A and B are shown apart, each in its own frame.
Chain A
């Protein structure tokens, strides 16, 4: 069974204190890994898609990387507005369609 594990469950950073969130996965035939941001009371919002080991993508203070077993979301010099829950999801082929499995998320709080 496909599994996605995110760590830590919660992370508290001072503004400007860089860190990384981890998403480890066990899946047969990874076809893609997604990162989403979810603000309280809202639906998840797409950030990145990574398709192969070694791939990296950046957006403002966020950088996502992918290896064969895990993905990291690096946050450089975070600001309070980066506070949110970050979800990762993996895509794999199952029963003829591309199944997407979500992790439980990392809740990030950035303190001014």
Chain B
């Protein structure tokens, strides 16, 4: 089991460029999440998904988009990158018997460090 994998590990973007952060999990988890972590600010939820084809906004969705066409993959799209999107991005997954049921613990990927200049 590779767990949760993220690519790339590092990326530098210019203002206005776009990119996709990739996330894949091989644990057959139904829940998947995208967080951003700024220094001293904790984890902020960007988007989450309770299963393939179902996504919803978290606390800080502006400037981002997601899709979930398969159980395994949950890519995060940045359109028109801005310096405020400089951060470390973590993807995570967890298992729940049903969307409203208790979730088990989240498994996190190694993160993508993004700088927008």
Residues of chain A at the chain B interface (Cβ within 8 Å): 9, 31-32, 34, 41-46, 49, 87, 91, 93, 95-98, 100, 102-105
Contacts and interface: CB of A to CB of B under 8 A. Distances in A.
B106 A100 contact: yes
A93 to B, nearest CB: 7
A87 B49 CA distance: 22
A49 B105 contact: yes
A98 B105 CA distance: 12
Tell which of A41, A91, A95, A97 has the most Cβ of chain B within 10 Å. Answer: A97
23 contacts: A9-B40, A31-B102, A42-B110, A42-B111, A43-B4, A43-B90, A43-B92, A44-B43, A45-B108, A46-B105, A46-B106, A46-B107, A93-B100, A97-B48, A97-B50, A97-B56, A97-B100, A98-B100, A98-B101, A100-B106, A103-B42, A104-B40, A105-B42
A17 B111 CA distance: 32
Contacts of A103: 42
Nearest to B109: A43
Contacts of A91: 102-103
A34 B96 contact: no
Interface in B18-45: 35, 40-43, 45
A9 B109 CA distance: 24
Nearest to A101: B45
Interface of B: 4, 35, 40-43, 45, 48, 50, 56, 90, 92, 96, 99-111
B102 A32 contact: yes
Nearest to B54: A97
A41 B9 CA distance: 10
Contacts of A105: 42
Contacts of B108: 43-45
A103 B109 CA distance: 19
Given A34-B105, A46-B105, A98-B102, 12 more contacts: A9-B40, A31-B102, A43-B4, A43-B92, A43-B111, A49-B104, A91-B103, A93-B100, A97-B48, A97-B50, A100-B45, A105-B42
A23 B110 CA distance: 25
